[in-house]
Structure 1
Amino acid sequence: MDASQKTDWAENPSVVLQTYPQINVRDIAELQVWVNSRGAGSGVTAKLFVKHGENWTWVNAEPVVIPAGGATLTLDVRDYSVIAGWGVQFEAFDTSATQAEFVVDSVVFTATEESE
């Protein structure tokens, strides 16, 4: 779900960490990021998304439950020449966890086989 279209923040809160650097991904096969959450309860999910095209169309991978120790999220970007931005949306966390931390690290753009 595109967070800009989200209307159920009270029932289904989320944290979105995003950036808009306009990246040329013509020779890129996938985007990978490592994510983790701490102090946010169990069952926290994360999904990687990109925005692309003139209208900044939102495309995301399926949500992944973050295990202890974190998880690597992957999204295929072969169909895009430029991404307008990317980010991670965290959901299903304990909203009373005031010391919750959400981590995004190790951002990797993997080249297509043709460009290697």
Structure 2
Amino acid sequence: MIILRGLREDRDRKQSDIANLIGTTQQQYSKYETGESELPIRALVILTDYYNVSADYILGRTACKEGIAVLNQPILDGSTAGALLSSVLSLSAGGRRAILEYVYLQRLKEKYGEEK
């Protein structure tokens, strides 16, 4: 699991540091990183919280790193990022395209300021 190694190295941690965090040996953790052994769910949960990424990211199922904390992040009026994402995904392709265009235009407006 090259992803585990990258996450660990990005934090400048040793295998033994992460092994201690998840309650195993450095040798066993090394097997998780190389894919020689499967990562237990308990360890996966600890690592998702530690690195603040999703389990799917660690498992290589998505390139999206954002974990549950991002999805639960409030946006406005009690709405969360996860609820917004679900709403956008429920739209037609045309509706999703319109949302993306609006976000692009809003970014430009905020970057360059509104014309007077």
- TM-score of the pair, normalised by structure 2: 0.22
Which is strand-richer, 1 or 2?
A: 1
TM-score normalised to the size of structure 1? 0.22
Q: In proportion to residue count, which structure has more helix?
A: 2
Q: Between the two structures, name the one with larger relative contact order (CA 8 Å, sep ≥ 6).
A: 1
Q: Which has the larger radius of gyration?
A: 2
